[in-house]
Structure 1
Amino acid sequence: MTKFAARFVLATSVLIAFASLARADDDALPKVTVYGTATTEVTPDLMNWHLTITNKGKDLAPVADNHHRIVAGVLKLLKDSGIDEQKIQTARMAFGENWVYRSNNRVKEGYYASTSVSFEMSDFDLYRTLWSGLAQDEHVSIDYVGYDHSKRIDYQNETRIKALLAAKEKAKALAETLGSQIGEPLLIEEDAGSQSMYPVPTFSNNLRTVESAEGGSEGIAKGKIPIKIRIKASFRLITQG
């Protein structure tokens, strides 16, 4: 072992030892550990659409050419309907052999081509126009339509602070019940698995009419979307006497 390697190993060992001592000191401190949860409900102002365009045929070349035409037509419909071109994205373009099961046998039935299209819109009044327009094309399926908010990150940050304050108040109440007080925070950790994602309403390709709870666009009900944050926090427990 070279001198450099030996020094590196020694330095690493010292750092690990100090870290272990520090952790042991933290574990030895009397503390109170709690979870704080906060939820903010907001009315969505964005709608995210996810589509799949698929066509099939006997020969690959005409299937691919026809697919290009179909996708171009869908993109034109979106743009003509007022969707911002910068908010439209195509992805997962693919073509290949089309295999199906018939009488428990796997059978090749020509070829397929597919493309995923996603877009975002803020004008909910366009919903009916787009829904009707897309339903005219048998090659288009609406995978799902989801809600979001343009200031989602801001709301998450505000909710995160509320969750931390809730944790502090909970720890304070527990400590005071025992005749103690809380000191400095020893741990603040966000529970990433507890973050509430926006619910995604799923629709079929059948037109329907749902009256909005807020009197909004015909065919949709925005409702509320919850933004939920959960914080784990530990505070030093101070007992007088």
Structure 2
Amino acid sequence: MKNVILVVALFLAITIKAQDQKPQVPQIAVTGEGKVKVIPDQAVINVGFQNSGKDSKEVKTLNDEVVDKVIKYLKKSGIPATDYKTNNVTLYKSYDYEKKKQNFQASQTLSITLKDLSKYDDIMMGLNDAGVNTINGVEFKSSKMEDYERDARKKAMLHAKQKAQDYVSVLGQKVGKALLITDNSQTYFPQPMYKGGMMAMAADSAETKETLAVGELEVITNVSVTFALE
């Protein structure tokens, strides 16, 4: 009786395993890339300023005065309050061992989103006059970046499908539905190149100068796709 039960159990196990082992679907895995070139229409300007002195209250007051001038200038220039913010504020004490004196240094950085690039030179000159003495970088952006990213994704999928069709066309097969899609994209925006600086712009405001090379942004999307074959 036990042998009969054992045989039946073994038969059922084999039957269930056979049902679970479905035939493998022929498939192909490829990658695709989508690129969209974009002319920037916005810039994020990162600027800073610092003051030093023997008294902490004095250097902080000097910094506060610059902040006040910068904010008033930005408001006067029509820059919305939502388009600029303070990134970093520091106040620390340093000691000069040779002179045996201690000093305090206060610094602050701001980022300003400029949505009209034609105002770039005027804004930079005004910031210089307000007391800003450091440019920490300029980052270009587009107000329609989400639309361009969407276009790049579509191009990446079309590129992947075309690659799969190229591979299997010589085999007399066709590309079927997508079985797996993996987004491998990493957001990257090239840094712009700009000419001149605060001192260069302040040197001769009467002379017209080209101080900014906008160039292009390249939105790149990468995708891995596994297609079934028919």
Q: Place the TM-score, normalised by the shorter chain, in its bin.
A: 0.7 to 0.9
Residues 146-205 of structure 1 show CA distances to partners (whole Å, capped at 9, x for unaligned) of 211001011101110111111011111111122222222121111133x43243435663
Measured after TM superposition, the shift of residue 109 of structure 1 is 4.2
The residue that corresponds to 2:124 in the other structure is 131
Where 1:132 maps in the other structure, the secondary structure is helix
Distance across 2 between alignment mates of 1:157 and 1:37: 13
1:185 paired to 2:174: no
In the alignment, residue 71 of structure 1 is paired with which amino acid? V
1:47-196 mapped onto 2 (5 Å cutoff): 47-98=43-94, 109-136=102-129, 139-193=132-186, 195-196=187-188
Distance across 1 between alignment mates of 2:76 and 2:59: 26
Q: Is the 8 A contact 1:142 1:203 kept in 2?
A: no
Where 2:64 maps in the other structure, the secondary structure is helix
- In structure 2, the CA distance between the partners of 1:73 and 1:176, relative to structure 1 (3 Å rule), is same
The residue that corresponds to 1:35 in the other structure is 31
In the alignment, residue 236 of structure 1 is paired with which amino acid? A
Structure 1 or 2, whichever has the larger Rg, is 2
- In structure 2, the CA distance between the partners of 1:174 and 1:26, relative to structure 1 (3 Å rule), is farther
Q: TM-score, normalised by structure 2?
A: 0.77
Distance across 2 between alignment mates of 1:108 and 1:157: 59
- In structure 2, the CA distance between the partners of 1:52 and 1:33, relative to structure 1 (3 Å rule), is same
Distance across 1 between alignment mates of 2:105 and 2:23: 61
Residues 94-139 of structure 1 show CA distances to partners (whole Å, capped at 9, x for unaligned) of 211136797xxxx874111122211111222211112222334665
The correspondence for 1:228, drawn from 217, 220, 230, is 220
Distance across 1 between alignment mates of 2:85 and 2:91: 18
Q: How many residues align?
A: 204
- In structure 2, the CA distance between the partners of 1:171 and 1:134, relative to structure 1 (3 Å rule), is same
- In structure 2, the CA distance between the partners of 1:90 and 1:27, relative to structure 1 (3 Å rule), is farther
Where 2:126 maps in the other structure, the secondary structure is helix
Aligned-residue RMSD, C-alpha: 2.9
Percent identity over paired residues: 26
In the alignment, residue 64 of structure 1 is paired with which amino acid? K
